[in-house]
Amino acid sequence: MSFGVLTLATPNDYLKAIGLALSLRISNPGVPVAVACSPKVRPLVEPHFDHVVDEDPSLRGFVHKVHLDRYTPFDETMFFDSDVLVFRPVKPFIEQWGRSPYTACGIYKTEGVSAFGLNRQEVLKKIGKDALVRIDGAGHALFRKPECGEVFENARLVTKNYRDYAGDIRYADEDVMDIVMTMMGLEPAPYGEFFSRYLSAKPGTMKMDATKGLCEFVAVTTGKKFSPCMMHFAANEAPFAYARQLRRLFRHFDVPTEGLLKLALSDFYDREIKTPLYSRMKRWQLRFASRRPSFQD
């Protein structure tokens, strides 16, 4: 059975996808890496990947992620978001996860709201289950052909009828997979030492060098030393630290670093200025609407 890593690349994040591929060259030598992208992005990423797959031009945004089974050239696939760096061999971890057709690190939740607004209690009522899988922010998934076919077909069906399940909220592939995994009884994998985020580290303890496969820190949650397999730089939470790692990788492999500073500044702007400003404006609008007098004839 062939095994490989798959990611997606867009005109906005193709430099991150290249960084992922370069980190895998160091941490997982010999493991083939594929990328799905548009014809516009193909020449930008092609030198750094073993396989380049044309994405479906009719799809947009996160919807591509419920079509990964159609994009992968491998029988057994580890998918990573483009904003991931890998520091340790992947195979030993996934061999411990069993033979599930689809899984990702996560837990079960019975209440609360996802980052995209999915009300878990309401969904559980609709699908008749007691607890919902939660893989929010995982940035990865493991799936196997041909068994994963049913999983992705169900994901595409939930996507087609997303409002029936989730209501009038933003579409999120992770929420879709939470629903599908729960309906199909697929268990999430344990986090263990596989997954991390930059904010998982106690301030001042981070030691990272992707060119050496090094990532060590003291975990905020346990107070113990932690050496994760991967780190997901989600939500632009560490734009400059991430850009430094990309720069190291690019220079190590003699890849031009043009665009990395602009990428870091853009991520910083989105997280620290644009998103807080948008949230504040929404609060003002709601407050103004609640105070506006109503007029009756």
What residues does each domain of the chain span? 3-184
Q: Is the pLDDT of residue 286 over 80?
A: no
**For 261, what's the count of Cα atoms within 13 Å in the CB-facing half-sphere?**
3
Lowest mean pLDDT among 4-8, 16-20, 245-249, 273-277: 273-277
| 34 class by beta-carbon count within 10 Å (0-12 exposed, 13-18 middle, 19+ buried) | buried
Within 10 Å of residue 200's Cβ, how many Cβ atoms? 19
Average the pLDDT over 145-159 and give the result: 98
User: How many residues are there in the chain?
Assistant: 297
Enter the tokens of residue 297. Answer: 């004839």
pLDDT at 137: 82
The CA distance from 117 to 112, in Å, is: 9
Average the pLDDT over 49-54 and give the result: 98
Contacts of residue 182, defined as CB under 8 A and 6 or more positions apart, other chains included, come to: 124, 127, 129, 131, 132, 133
- The C-alpha angle with vertex 51 and arms to 50 and 53, in degrees rounded to 5, equals 160
Mean pLDDT (the chain) is: 93
Four-way CATH pick for 3-184: 3.10.129.10, 1.10.530.10, 3.90.550.10, 3.40.980.10: 3.90.550.10
Average the pLDDT over 253-278 and give the result: 86
The CA distance from 39 to 96, in Å, is: 37
Enter the tokens of residue 76. Answer: 């057994």
Q: Which pLDDT band, with edges at 50, 70 and 90, does 288 fall under?
A: low
| 203 class by beta-carbon count within 10 Å (0-12 exposed, 13-18 middle, 19+ buried) | exposed
* pLDDT (tens digit per residue) in 182-211: 999 999 999 999 999 999 999 999 999 999
Cβ-contact 250, 214 below 8 angstroms: no
Strand 76-80 versus strand 140-144 pairing type? antiparallel
Cβ-contact 93, 149 below 8 angstroms: no
Whose CA is closest to 136, among 90, 104, 184? 104
The CA distance from 72 to 52, in Å, is: 10
pLDDT at 295: 47
Cβ-contact 41, 48 below 8 angstroms: no
DSSP 270-281: IIIIIHHHHHHH
Cβ-contact 115, 136 below 8 angstroms: yes
**pTM (two decimals):** 0.92
Average the pLDDT over 39-55 and give the result: 98
Rounded to 5 degrees, what are φ and ψ at 136? -50, 130
pLDDT at 268: 81
The CA distance from 61 to 284, in Å, is: 29
